[in-house]
Structure 1
Amino acid sequence: MSAPLFFVDRQDLLAGDRVIVSGAEGRHAVTVARLQHGERVDLGDGAGLLVAGQVIRAQAPDLLEVQVLERIIAPDPDPRLVVVQALPKGDRGELAVELLTEVGVDAIVPWAAARSIAQWRGDRGERSLHKWRDAARAAGKQSRRAHLPVVSSLATTGDVLRMVSSATATVVLHEESTAALTNWSPPARGEIVVVVGPEGGLTADEVSAFREAGAEVRHLGPSVMRTSTAGAAASAVLLAATGRWSL
């Protein structure tokens, strides 16, 4: 079993041969995970720096002291995979973020699509974005990720079109496409953008605009998936095809 991972500020990871983990992360390590003296543990900053360590003190309720055994800089992922996720209703957005983080997506962009039922406005929008970012952090910890995905602020369709135009390649998931994602050859380098529509599907205008911006339009297979799971399924296909799952 791999060592558990906890997130710590980079400056603390680089400060010396011992690292103190406290606060919420320390409480999780000591009270929830119940780490004990001598156990192995990994610490990370979520931006590529990892510390392999050994517990030398675990003091309830929230203090963990770790001896540094090795520092590792994980290379930046290439190609970089960005998923534009149309806002799902209810808590399905957090599920989508959790799944996308676990499979290895590098950035998640919440998108106010034309047919999105959920609306992020004012305080509600801020709370929803905070929940998405918390979900990414928790899933990144569970899946032992050296790089946490960046969860950006809410994007408009215009914002997404600019992303499509500047990306190395973009694929838009659409059940009415006659071409399968599994038959598409993604680039081996650069940035790949995946666009996932809402529960009500993409509008004809959205599909047309994405095509004009240079996107490929592909389907995932014979079944129609929920918006909260389609992005993770597509990402798995692309991460395998680009070789990132072979590292």
Structure 2
Amino acid sequence: MPSFYNHQLDLESQHISLSPEESQHAIKARRLRVGDRVSVINGRGITALCSLETLDRSAASLMVESIDFTHAPPLKLSIASALPKGDRMRTMIDMLAQLGTSRFVPLRCAHSVQKCSTSMLSKLQRYALEACKQSNNPWLMHIDQEHSVSELLETAGKEESALAYADGMGGSLADRQFSSHDLCVAIGPEGGFSPDEVTAFAIAQAPAIKLGSTILRTETAAVAVAAQWIAR
């Protein structure tokens, strides 16, 4: 069933409209017609089964037939990662959103090669939304502002969330016990974290975790963390 997004959808909604962009997608890509049924998410746990009442390129209107609410996962995972280049970045965001990652933080490291501009953040948000609709995930992965390692450590301390970083010398994620249900895992660029960044993690008592016996690309490491976390 085709899935669409409407951030104004709530538990009391009876009629909703799609944005012009979503309406055009319904017409041109999905080739939907009046009477067709679709799924609509609001990105905050609500999924509605709807039928198309009217359909035009500016705003398709839908009648809500039923509404379900899915609670957020009890174990929340944030991934703070250096950005890989090109299609690899889109693949990473797509897979993390499908796996139910709660938040993604672009991480600026000493060895980073990909910068995170305002337009890049918009792309990441679009990739996350597309993945949530495709996978019928009712919880939209939040895309945060870019952080340096020091800013990430400061934020984790304020939020009282557990923090770890991916490193080939640490223990496995499955063997680690964390004091919080909210975990943030930092993943460096393919050049790795700098000695100063590793020292900063150590001072913050953030443990290193090992994801396998081989050296992983940045996007592969991020997806491996998410897959291992939901399997706990």
TM-score (norm 2): 0.89
Q: CA deviation at 1:140?
A: 1.4
Could you give the per-residue CA deviations for residues 39-97 of structure 1, whole angstroms, max 9, x where no partner exists?
Answer: 3311122122221223344x354553322122223223322211101132344333221
Of the three residues 60, 63, 69, the one matched with 1:64 is: 60
Distance 2:105 2:95 in 1: 14
Count matched residues. 231
Kindly tell me: are residues 22 and 115 of structure 1, through their superposed partners in 2, closer, same or farther at Cα, counting changes over 3 Å?
A: closer
Could you give the per-residue CA deviations for residues 4-35 of structure 1, whole angstroms, max 9, x where no partner exists?
Answer: 2211131x556752223241111112221122
Could you give the per-residue CA deviations for residues 143-197 of structure 1, whole angstroms, max 9, x where no partner exists?
Answer: 112111111111112111113434432221112x14222322456x631111111
Find the residue that maps to 1:50 and give its secondary structure. Answer: strand
Tell me, yes or no, if the aligned pair for 1:5 and 1:141 is still in contact at 8 Å. yes
Q: CA deviation at 1:37?
A: 4.1
Of the three residues 120, 127, 130, the one matched with 2:119 is: 127
Distance 2:152 2:13 in 1: 43
Of the three residues 40, 45, 69, the one matched with 1:43 is: 40
**Letter aligned with residue 27 of structure 2:** V
Tell me, yes or no, if the aligned pair for 1:83 and 1:195 is still in contact at 8 Å. yes
Of the three residues 152, 177, 194, the one matched with 2:185 is: 194
Distance 2:75 2:147 in 1: 22
Q: CA deviation at 1:137?
A: 1.3
Q: Percent of aligned pairs with the same residue?
A: 27
Find the residue that maps to 1:127 and give its secondary structure. Answer: helix
Q: CA deviation at 1:205?
A: 2.1
Q: Do residues 108 (structure 1) and 104 (structure 2) align?
A: yes
| Structure 2 unpaired stretches of 5+ | none
RMSD, matched Cα: 2.2
Aligned to 1:228: 219
Aligned to 2:15: 18
Aligned to 1:219: 210
Tell me, yes or no, if the aligned pair for 1:29 and 1:62 is still in contact at 8 Å. no
Distance 1:62 1:186 in 2: 48
**Relative to structure 2, which stretch is displaced further, 178-187 or 20-29?**
178-187
| Structure 1 unpaired stretches of 5+ | 242-247
Aligned to 2:29: 32
Tell me, yes or no, if the aligned pair for 1:30 and 1:62 is still in contact at 8 Å. no
**Relative to structure 2, which stretch is displaced further, 66-75 or 154-163?**
66-75
**Letter aligned with residue 154 of structure 1:** E
Distance 1:168 1:219 in 2: 20
Q: CA deviation at 1:240?
A: 1.2
Tell me, yes or no, if the aligned pair for 1:31 and 1:62 is still in contact at 8 Å. no
Distance 1:210 1:16 in 2: 46
Tell me, yes or no, if the aligned pair for 1:107 and 1:149 is still in contact at 8 Å. yes
